[in-house]
């Protein structure tokens, strides 16, 4: 077996950047991701991914497995138990759950770690509020919100929003609302981070800009998890479309790549050319504040995140993706509206490129039995004496190609390379690359095999 050592210029480490396209189509509370069917049936289960409609499985650990916790693969096993000193036994309970400590009620806060973990695009609607500049910040809850006429206490950080400890409202904690417990956060830090790109990244816009105060204005938040875009969303690729009865009533694009979502269509419509929202490329966050009317009023009953009515049927950007991941079967009018979110992500993949050389006059012997002429007169012949043993070389098969009949051409030592093996410095096999078709190797030919591995 011939073994060749890689030289300094034979191995290259690079980073491959790709921009995969992603598309969300939202209608009647459900979402279709890249036009892939939400449910796919298998041999055992009608939903082989075991995730809700409009979600993807993050790890796909329970493909086509039976339902029930006892049949599912779990992320970890955490047990609560008691030891009986008299019988020297231990009783364990609650496998497959993690508990977050709470001195008042230890069992009230817990996360179920059974797969499958899922992810999707999420929408949060915030109605307009009234500022009370005095006091501690009051949290604006995206789920249970009856704040249309309420005063909200704010500090210098502006509007404070609720997040979730867990990935999504669907993967919830055993909390009183069943929707997870809240983690306060503010968008003020994000706005400051991108303020150098555009004056629209201000909590309160001033001057000739569209006047709005993010602390109080009606807003729609779209949260896109990083699993759908990689390291960041590519600039100048974001497009949002708003449909009513199949006709486009509004289009937003991030022209200029500054993070401003500008209404580009329909042409000469109300709000055309105006900034209707902001996009944070690295965080996958979209804020829509455009509150002007789009198209005609079709009496669509837009809803909040708790399923209650917003009290407004006007088509506007703050109603974008209304009712996402909700049961809207009883809402007859909202089915007329649909929405799309399209963009390109940015993924960086480290790659290793290895150049394997097959030099001249090398690799022209094979251990394949067909390499030796079967009818050779010296096959298996040897000579020996009291202190020597010598095997007589066998004749190699002449497989040199010719178009002539009844003619044996001059023999050329040739082999066919079908695999390239990679070894570590201890001669341990760590990888094998196969060529699509065996490569003919003769002493007067040299080859360079290019192997690439994504890490």
**Model confidence pLDDT, tens digit, residues 296-326:** 998 899 998 888 889 899 999 999 999 999 9
Give the pLDDT confidence score for residue 378 in this predicted structure: 53
CB 121 within 8 A of CB 32: no
For residues 336 and 394, membership in a common domain is answered with no
For residues 270 and 362, membership in a common domain is answered with no
Tell me the mean pLDDT in the region 386-401.
76
Within 8 A by CB and 6+ apart from 386, the residues are none
Q: Is residue 311 part of a domain?
A: yes
Give the pLDDT confidence score for residue 401 in this predicted structure: 75
Q: What angle do CA 300, 304, 307 make, to 5 degrees?
A: 90
Question: Distance between CA 275 and CA 289 in Å, rounded?
Answer: 9
Q: What mean pLDDT, rounded, does the chain reach?
A: 79
For residues 247 and 233, membership in a common domain is answered with yes
For residues 297 and 357, membership in a common domain is answered with no
CB 266 within 8 A of CB 248: yes
Q: Rank 12-16, 330-334, 369-373 by mean pLDDT and report only the highest.
A: 12-16
SS3 string of the chain?
CCCCCCCHHHEEEEEEEECCEEEEEEECCEEEECCCCCCCCCCCCCCCCCCCCCCEECCCCCCCCCCCHHHCCECCCCCEEEEECCCCEEEEECCCEEECCCCCCCCCCEEECECCCEECCEEEEECCCEEECCCCCCCECCCCCCCCCCEEECECCECEEEEECCCCCCCCECCCCCCCCEEEEECHHHHHHCCCCCCCCCCECCCCCCCCECCCCCEEEEECCHHHCECEECCCCCEEEEEECCEEEEEEECHHHCCEEEEEECCCCCCCCCEEEEEECCCCEEEECCCCCCCCCCCCCCECCCCCECCCCCCCHHHCCCCCCCCCCCCCCHHHEEEEEEEEEEEEEEEEEEEEEECCCCCCCCCCHHHECCCCCCCCCEEECCCCEEECCCCECCCCCCCCCCCCCCCCCCEEEEEEEEECCCCCEEEEEEEEEEEEECCCCCEEEEEEEEC
pLDDT at 132 over 50: no
Going 191 to 193 to 194 to 197, the CA torsion angle's sign is: positive
Q: How confident is the model at residue 286 (pLDDT cuts 50, 70, 90)?
A: very high
Domain boundary among 349, 381, 413: 349
For residues 305 and 379, membership in a common domain is answered with no
Q: How confident is the model at residue 96 (pLDDT cuts 50, 70, 90)?
A: very low
Question: Distance between CA 330 and CA 337 in Å, rounded?
Answer: 15
Q: Is residue 93 part of a domain?
A: no
For residues 131 and 241, membership in a common domain is answered with yes
Give the pLDDT confidence score for residue 89 in this predicted structure: 64
Q: What is the pLDDT of residues 350-360, one digit of tens each?
A: 999 999 999 99
For residues 442 and 310, membership in a common domain is answered with no
Strand-pair partners of 420 = 433
Q: Is residue 38 part of a domain?
A: no
Give the pLDDT confidence score for residue 379 in this predicted structure: 58
Q: Is residue 161 part of a domain?
A: yes
Q: How confident is the model at residue 73 (pLDDT cuts 50, 70, 90)?
A: confident
Q: Is residue 21 part of a domain?
A: no
Question: Distance between CA 45 and CA 62 in Å, rounded?
Answer: 11
Q: Is residue 57 part of a domain?
A: no
For residues 317 and 407, membership in a common domain is answered with no
pLDDT at 102 over 70: no
Lowest mean pLDDT among 89-98, 203-212, 286-295: 89-98
Tell me the mean pLDDT in the region 250-258.
93
Sole residue written with tokens 């049949």? 71
Give the pLDDT confidence score for residue 432 in this predicted structure: 94
Q: Is residue 69 part of a domain?
A: no
For residues 261 and 359, membership in a common domain is answered with no
For residues 246 and 395, membership in a common domain is answered with no
The percent of residues above 90 in pLDDT, for the chain, comes to 40
Q: What is the pLDDT of residues 150-187, one digit of tens each?
A: 334 333 334 445 444 333 333 333 333 444 444 445 67
Of residues 70 and 389, the one with the higher pLDDT is: 389
Domain boundary among 291, 324, 349: 349
Give the pLDDT confidence score for residue 368 in this predicted structure: 75
pLDDT at 145 over 50: no
Strand-pair partners of 253 = 239, 262
pLDDT at 130 over 90: no
State how many domains the chain has.
2
Give the pLDDT confidence score for residue 216 in this predicted structure: 79
For residues 447 and 399, membership in a common domain is answered with yes
Domain boundary among 349, 381, 414: 349
For residues 127 and 225, membership in a common domain is answered with yes
Q: How confident is the model at residue 79 (pLDDT cuts 50, 70, 90)?
A: low
Domain that holds residue 397: 350-454
């Amino acid at each position: 077996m011939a073994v060749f050592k890689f030289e300094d210029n034979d191995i290259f480490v690079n980073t491959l950047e790709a921009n995969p396209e992603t598309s969300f189509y939202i209608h009647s509370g459900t979402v279709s991701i890249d036009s892939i069917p939400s449910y796919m049936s298998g041999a055992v289960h009608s939903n082989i991914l075991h995730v809700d409609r409009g979600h993807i499985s993050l790890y796909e650990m329970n493909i086509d497995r039976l339902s029930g916790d006892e049949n599912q693969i779990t992320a970890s096993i955490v047990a609560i138990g008691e030891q009986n000193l008299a019988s020297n036994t231990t009783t364990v309970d609650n496998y497959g759950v993690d508990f977050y400590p709470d001195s008042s009620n230890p069992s009230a806060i817990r996360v179920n770690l059974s797969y499958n973990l899922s992810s999707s695009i999420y929408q949060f609607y915030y109605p307009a509020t009234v500022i009370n500049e005095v006091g501690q910040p009051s949290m604006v809850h995206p789920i249970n919100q009856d704040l249309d006429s309420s005063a909200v206490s704010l500090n210098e950080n502006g509007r404070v929003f609720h997040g979730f400890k867990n990935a999504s409202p669907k993967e919830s904690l055993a909390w009183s609302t069943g929707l997870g417990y809240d983690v306060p956060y503010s968008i003020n830090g994000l706005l400051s981070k991108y303020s150098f790109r555009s004056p629209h990244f201000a909590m309160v816009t001033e001057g000739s800009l569209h006047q709005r105060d993010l602390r109080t204005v009606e807003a729609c938040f779209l949260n896109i998890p990083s699993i759908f875009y990689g390291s960041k969303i590519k600039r100048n690729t974001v497009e949002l479309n708003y449909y009513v009865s199949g006709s486009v009533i509004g289009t937003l694009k991030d022209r200029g790549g500054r993070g401003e979502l500008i209404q580009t269509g329909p042409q000469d419509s109300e709000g055309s050319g105006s900034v209707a929202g902001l996009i944070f490329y690295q965080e996958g966050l979209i804020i829509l504040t455009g509150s002007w009317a789009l198209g005609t009023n079709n009496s669509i009953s837009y809803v909040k995140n708790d399923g209650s009515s917003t009290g407004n049927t006007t088509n506007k950007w703050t109603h974008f993706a209304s009712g996402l991941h909700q049961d809207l079967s009883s809402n007859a009018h909202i089915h007329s509206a649909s929405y799309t979110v399209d963009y390109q992500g940015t993924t960086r993949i480290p790659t290793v490129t290895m150049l394997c050389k097959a030099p001249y006059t090398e690799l022209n012997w094979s251990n394949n039995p067909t390499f030796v002429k079967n009818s050779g007169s010296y096959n298996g012949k040897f000579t020996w004496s009291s202190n020597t043993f010598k095997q007589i070389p066998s004749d190699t098969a002449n497989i040199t190609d010719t178009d002539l009949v009844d003619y044996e051409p001059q023999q050329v030592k040739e082999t066919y390379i079908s695999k390239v093996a990679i070894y570590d410095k201890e001669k341990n096999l760590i990888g094998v690359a196969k060529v699509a078709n065996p490569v003919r190797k003769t002493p007067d030919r040299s080859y360079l095999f290019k192997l690439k591995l994504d890490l």
